[in-house]
Amino acid sequence: MQIDLSGRRAVVTGSSQGIGLAIATGLARAGAAVVLTGRDAAALDAAAGGVDGDVTTVAGDLATDEGTAALLDAVPQVDVLVNNLGIFGARPALEISDDEWRRYFEVNVLTAVRLTRSYLPGMRERGWGRVQYLASDSAVAIPAEMIHYGMTKTALLAVSRGFAKEAAGSGVTVNSVIAGPTHTGGVEEFVRSLVGDDLPWDDAQREFMRRHRPQSLLQRLIEPEEIAHLCVYLASPLASATTGGALRVDGGYVDAILP
């Protein structure tokens, strides 16, 4: 299967590390000109140095009007938009404040809505485009320890389906990707917060999966590159008939035939 994204420009939000950086690396490897975004300019520069290809960076907080404006000024049009930016963390359900509910919604959902609203019209006019939303198994199997996070990922499934209808017949596809528990630096910290610091990492990972994610069929954390493979495919011309979907790369975590 040959994926060629030469001549296409892609923005991947939250791409200084983890899944976002893996997606950006995969898109660049396929020939796309890639824009990395994040709040830390130094971290973005370091990340860009490890990506082969046409890579630029735009630093700013996309949860703010100023950060969004900086990105749109620097990159007024794109062919591929991957809405990966997100925050997560454990919190007892009854202790989540109104401000925290709002913060999670604004960062995880509204940033993606704003960028889609900004970039989708140009994609439609040009007759080609790809919009993706990084959702999660938590969108379908809401975790008791972070229902505010799960709520935002459920919202992204609705947002994705709705914008896919807005793009109907235009040559633009819109999809969400349901990622399962993935091995990133942030997740390592999360795992440690739940199972402790005294176990070697491999043992800690297995213990986390056994206690907190027992329905995973992989029985291990997914590597970021495994998520990226699906995202690169969805960004390609080969995925022209896939739109309005919620596609799972979750290691069999969600115990259902459909999302």
Q: Which two tokens stand for residue 254?
A: 């969600």
Report how far residue 45's alpha carbon sits from residue 48's, in angstroms, rounded to the nearest whole number: 5
Report how far residue 222's alpha carbon sits from residue 255's, in angstroms, rounded to the nearest whole number: 17
Report how far residue 258's alpha carbon sits from residue 256's, in angstroms, rounded to the nearest whole number: 5
**Residue 149: active-site member:** yes
Report how far residue 210's alpha carbon sits from residue 41's, in angstroms, rounded to the nearest whole number: 38
To the nearest 10 degrees (0 to 180), the angle between helices 98-105 and 147-166 is 40
Active-site residue among 104, 119, 133, 149? Answer: 149
Residues ≥6 apart with Cβ < 8 Å to 193? 90
Report how far residue 113's alpha carbon sits from residue 38's, in angstroms, rounded to the nearest whole number: 17
Task: Count the Cβ atoms, other than its own, within 10 Å of residue 97.
Answer: 10
> Cα separations (Å) of 140 from 27, 183, 189?
27, 20, 23
Quick check: 243 and 40 in contact, CB under 8 A? no
Triad 190, 194, 197: Cα angle to 5°? 85
Quick check: 84 and 131 in contact, CB under 8 A? no
Helix (H) or strand (E) holding 133: strand 129-136
What residues act catalytically? Answer: 149
